[in-house]
Structure formats: C-alpha cells, structure tokens
Amino acid sequence: MYRIIVLTLLFFGLVGCSDNADQSKSERITVTIQMFEGPESEAMIPTVKYWNKNYAEKTGIYVKTTSLKRVGYFGKLEMQLISGAENVDIIHPFSLHLGKIREHLEPLGQYLSDKDIMTSPDGKKLSLKSFLPIALETVKSDDGKIYMLPKDMSEVLLFYRKDLIPVPPATWEEYVETAKKFTKTFNSASPTKYGAVMQGKYEMWSFCAALENLWPYGARMLNEKQDGTKFNNSAAVKGFKVFEELAKNNVFPPGAVNAEHPEVSAIIQKGEVAMAIMWSAFYQDLIDKDKSPNVYDKFEIAPPPGVIQEDGTLKRCMYVQTINLALNKKSKNKKAAMKFMTWVTMGEGAEIYAKGEGDSPGGSSPVYQVWKDDHILDIYPKILPWVEKYGKTPPPHPQITDMILMGSGWLQKIMAGEITAEEAAKGYHKEVTEFLE
C-alpha cells in the first residue's frame, strides 16, 4: 500500500513538473509589430532579430514583425484600428496621422514613468531627453499627451549643384533668380535644362515640402483658436508667389507637376536640374556612384532658403516629420510591447536600427546618440544644427492631413500655371475653413 502511494505521488509530481514546464513556455509573450513595406521595415528585421537573440529569453518577450503594402497603408491602418483589431500590438504611423487615430492609441504616460519599462534589458536607463526636441514635438497631441515614440525622422532640404552654384541661395528670392539662371528657356547658356524641381503631385508630401516656403513668410495653417486657417492674407500670397514665378518662367521640368519622390529622384539623377527641394532620405542614393553615376559627385545639401524679416534677420523653416511606433489600444500585451518600444527608440535598439544590416540602409533614428555619430551616417552631423535651429512641424490637429492634402491641390494648380498666388491663397483658405466648419 505504501509503495502504491509513493508511486502515485511520484506520478502526479512528474505531471506537475511537466505542467509547470509547459506553463513556463506559455508565459513567453509574443509582441507583434506591424510596419509598411520598405526600408523602414527592412531595417527593423535585424533590430528585432537582435532583440530575440539577446533579450527574448531574459525578458520573456518575443517580437514578431509583419508588414503591409506601402500603397494605401494608412487607410488600411485606420480601418484596422476602427474595427478593433487585437492581433497587432505596435503600429507604425506618421506623426501627421496622430490627430486622426489618437482615440485608437494608448497614451504612453504611465508606461514612460515605469522604471522597469524605462530600463533597457542591458541595464541602461532610458530617457525621453535622448530624442531631438523637434522629434519629440511631433508626437505630442493637442491634449498634451504622448501617444507615439519617434523611430524615423525626415526633413526636406535644398539640394544644389555645387559645381555650378558656389554658394546656395539664402532667400527664396535668390532661389528664384538662381533657378532662372540655370533654365535653358530663360538663359540659353545654362548648362542645365531646368533650374529647379520639386514634387507637385496631388498628395500630402507635396504641400509638406511647400510649407518650408510658406512658413517663413508668416503663413500659418491654423488661427490661434485652431478652428480656421490664416492663409487668406498677404503672407500666404507672398509664399505662393514664389511657385507662381518659378512656373511662369518654365523653371520646373514639365513632369514636376505630377511627380512624387521617385520621379523627382530620376530627374535629379539625370543631371537635368541645378537645384531641388527634396527629402533627406534621397541623399544616400544621390551620392552613390552606382545609383547616380551622372551626378553622384556634383550635389551638396543646404538648409531651405528663408525670408528676410522686418528686423533684418533671415528666417528659415525646415519641414520635419517623424515615423513612429505607437501602442494599439486593443493590444493584450501593452507592457511587454512598451518594453520593446522604449528599447528600439531610445536604447541600443535605435542605434542597431539606424545602422541596418547588409544591403539594408538602416533608419533615421532621431536620437542624439545616432545623429552625432558620423560613423552611422555622415549626413546626420551635417543636418543636426539645421534641424535644431530651423526645424518645424505642422500643428497636431485631427484634420491636419486633410488640410495638407487640400493645400497640395492648390499648389499643383499654381505649378501647372492654372491660377495665380492670390487665387490659391483665397481658394485654399475658403476650402479649409468650410471643411472645418
């Protein structure tokens, strides 16, 4: 009888051990991060790989990446959030989309004050102060709360032919005159066919780039109460006049009015233009001899031109936006997801993400540690003082993406020579004001 009891206890003891082992395995949390296809998701793959190899067992948090097609991603993301999807923990939105999707995101304040979450698995303390101030500004909502953590940062720069233009134009007036000088139809002796190029396609990013011109003239997207625009004034007209003058003098290549990033890139790489208003991400391709054999050694970058103010100072505005990681409010793994999010945006994960792996170019992590290190990317230390001095981002309004898209429509009409600057300022103001009402 005693022997039966002992065997029975041993049996259930073994079963108990087996159950505990299975339970231990089941305690591992899988966090899913969803991004859109492209260099950003490619840079995240080696970053997640590093986490899973070095910290998954230690933290009990395993990270899985997934991605959706880039085209239409944000529409899909918005519908995904509205439907209450729980299968994605971390999402990948632009800062401009914060107002539109805020109600579906988890406010991060309580997690950012958690000492465990703000301590990297390697033991280092994490801090929001590691971010460039302008990057942190892009993820703060109008209610003062933080709903996203910056993972990539993009800027719009002036690209110019250093072999033709010794000193880049400092003002928009100088930019117009320089563009004319290097346009064949205006100057038959010009070594380039066109003086300048920027994208004019009816999409948000066209007007985002144009804001670098409108802001320093004094144009604002919203009034003080944020319930109407301030574009129906002389400041907006002056800003739009620059594009009207460029279009009138055939400074832009004919395809610019319907071009976006790929088309503008191709025009620059052909050697057809002397200057361009273009995204910083293009720089690495431009200086690559294999990708840009015609011009790889001919271009330099500068901050965007500015406007002389009444006191004689020069005011420049550099458009800055971020691509972020945010916490799905419906996630079942919020704390675990935040543990990874803080590491990948503020900790060593930011540096791993920025460096990339193999042919992956890496991402533009907006932290000082990355931006001061020219061994990661030599463009960062060059742009850093411009970003700190001139960086500006649109206001965090729920309808800001709609307002920007409307602005792109009026900009495109100017570039096509269909309307004047006065008509654009008046029309844009009316359209947005009626929309907000």
Q: Look at residue 231 and tell me whether its pLDDT is greater than 60.
A: yes
The whole-number pLDDT of residue 335 equals 97
Between 86 and 222, the more confident residue is 86
Burial class for 174, CB neighbours closer than 10 Å (0-12, 13-18, 19+): middle
Between 230 and 117, the more confident residue is 117
Scan for tokens 């003062």, then name that residue.
Answer: 144
* Cβ atoms of residues 320 and 387 within 8 Å: yes
Average pLDDT (380-406) is: 92
Percent with pLDDT over 70 in the chain: 92
At 296-328, the pLDDT tens digits run: 999 999 999 999 999 999 999 999 999 999 999
> Which CATH class for the 26-152+322-378 domain?
alpha beta
* Cβ atoms of residues 356 and 42 within 8 Å: yes
Instruction: Give the least confident one: 224-233, 242-251, 369-378.
Output: 224-233
* Cβ atoms of residues 350 and 365 within 8 Å: yes
At 154-199, the pLDDT tens digits run: 999 999 999 999 999 999 999 999 999 999 999 999 999 999 999 9
- Taking Cα atoms as reference points, which of 347, 394, 363, 356 lies closest to residue 131? 347
Q: Look at residue 13 and tell me whether its pLDDT is greater than 50.
A: no
Q: Look at residue 7 and tell me whether its pLDDT is greater than 70.
A: no
Taking the model in full, what pTM does it have? 0.88
The neighbouring-strand residues paired with 306 are 171, 316
Q: What are the structural domain ranges in the chain? A: 26-152+322-378, 154-319+394-436
Per the prediction, the chain carries an average pLDDT of 89
At 38-57, the pLDDT tens digits run: 888 889 999 999 999 999 99
Instruction: Give the least confident one: 161-170, 356-365, 402-411, 414-423.
Output: 356-365
Q: Look at residue 34 and tell me whether its pLDDT is greater than 60.
A: yes
Architecture of the domain whose range is 154-319+394-436: 3-Layer(aba) Sandwich (3.40)
The whole-number pLDDT of residue 360 equals 65
The whole-number pLDDT of residue 373 equals 78
Can 26-152+322-378 and 154-319+394-436 be said to share one CATH topology?
A: yes
Q: Look at residue 25 and tell me whether its pLDDT is greater than 90.
A: no
Helices (H), 288-393: 334-346, 348-355, 368-371, 379-390
Average pLDDT (396-403) is: 90
Percent with pLDDT over 90 in the chain: 75
* Cβ atoms of residues 274 and 165 within 8 Å: yes
Q: Look at residue 339 and tell me whether its pLDDT is greater than 50.
A: yes
The whole-number pLDDT of residue 224 equals 67
